[in-house]
Each structure stands twice: as structure tokens, then as C-alpha cells.
Amino acid sequence: MNKSLLIIAVGNPSRGDDALGPLFLERLAEGRELLHNQDEIELLTDFQLQIEHAVDLEGRALALFVDASVACHSPFQFTRLQPVEDAGYTSHALSPAAVLCVYGQINPDPPPPAFQLAIRGECFELGESLSAAAEVNLASALKFAGQLLKQPVVETWDRLVQTDGR
């Protein structure tokens, strides 16, 4: 049986700030005090989203996608996702919204409510380590995640949408 909350983090630990997603999960797992009701939370990390991740959403009450971003404000941005067909997608490198769309194509029911936590990154070069700014942004995102995980219910998360830590 699937756990009710799935947190999917995406990124490449070898590409500087692109490691923000995997590091978020790593630190979340280390700081077990943030994982209230940890028996109901599954953590999953991958280099990029693929169509197969739609299957990971089956049976979930809630999903959170975590990734680095150069497009969001610093330190992070929290948004509600809706399924969107990505006209240019292939079987690799989907957006979270495209994963939700694939879910709808293979399941009779709509996807679970899903949110994205985009953490601001600046340096994505191969072989680079996490930048100092990204480290600060990651700490802010983890603190915010503590609020989310205290009450992992859609209504509470909807009230926190558009919070960007500024």
C-alpha cells in the first residue's frame, strides 16, 4: 500500500545547485523531527522526471515535487500544480505538471493534489559544489517544509501557496 504523501525531489548532485532537490530530501530524512507522521510519507529522488513517475502518484492523497530553479524568487516558491500537457515532452525530462497529465492519461481518476517547492539556485555547472546562496535557500525551504509536514492536508497547503520566503 502506498503512503499518503509522496515527496519527489529532482536534480543532479554533480551539477552544483541542481543538487538542491536531492539535498532537500537527504536533509529532510536526517532531520526526522520534520517528518511528522513519517509512516505516511515516502521520499523519492531521481535525476529527472519521467513518465514512469506518474505511476508513483497512484494511491496518494498528496504529492510534493521539489527541484532547483533559476526562475523563482529567492529563497523558494511554493505553488499548486495542475495537469498540463507538454507538447514537446518525450519519455524523459518532464515537468511536474506533465507528470500529472500523464497520470490522467493512464488512470480513470484525477491525479492527487500536487504542489511544487522550487528552490532558487544560481550555479549549475558540472563538477561544482552547492553555492553559498543555494545553501541559505535550502535552509529556508527546509524550515518552510516543516510547516507543510505538520499538516499535510490540501486545505492547509493551499493557504500557503505563493509563499516564496521573501
The domain segmentation of the chain, as residue ranges, is 5-160
Kindly state the helix (H) or strand (E) to which residue 28 belongs, with its residue range. helix 20-30
Lowest-confidence pick of 56-65, 76-85, 154-163: 154-163
Q: How much is the pLDDT for 153?
A: 87
Helix 132-150, helix 20-30: angle, nearest 10: 50
Which pTM does this prediction carry?
0.90
Find out whether 46 and 6 touch, Cβ atoms under 8 Å.
no
pLDDT at 90 > cutoff 60: no
pLDDT in tens, 12-49: 999 999 999 999 999 988 876 566 666 788 999 999 99
* Residue that wins the pLDDT comparison between 163 and 159: 159
CATH T-level fold of 5-160? Rossmann fold (3.40.50)
Q: How much is the pLDDT for 81?
A: 95
pLDDT in tens, 93-139: 789 999 999 999 999 999 999 999 999 999 898 888 999 999 999 99
Q: How much is the pLDDT for 88?
A: 58
Q: How much is the pLDDT for 1?
A: 55
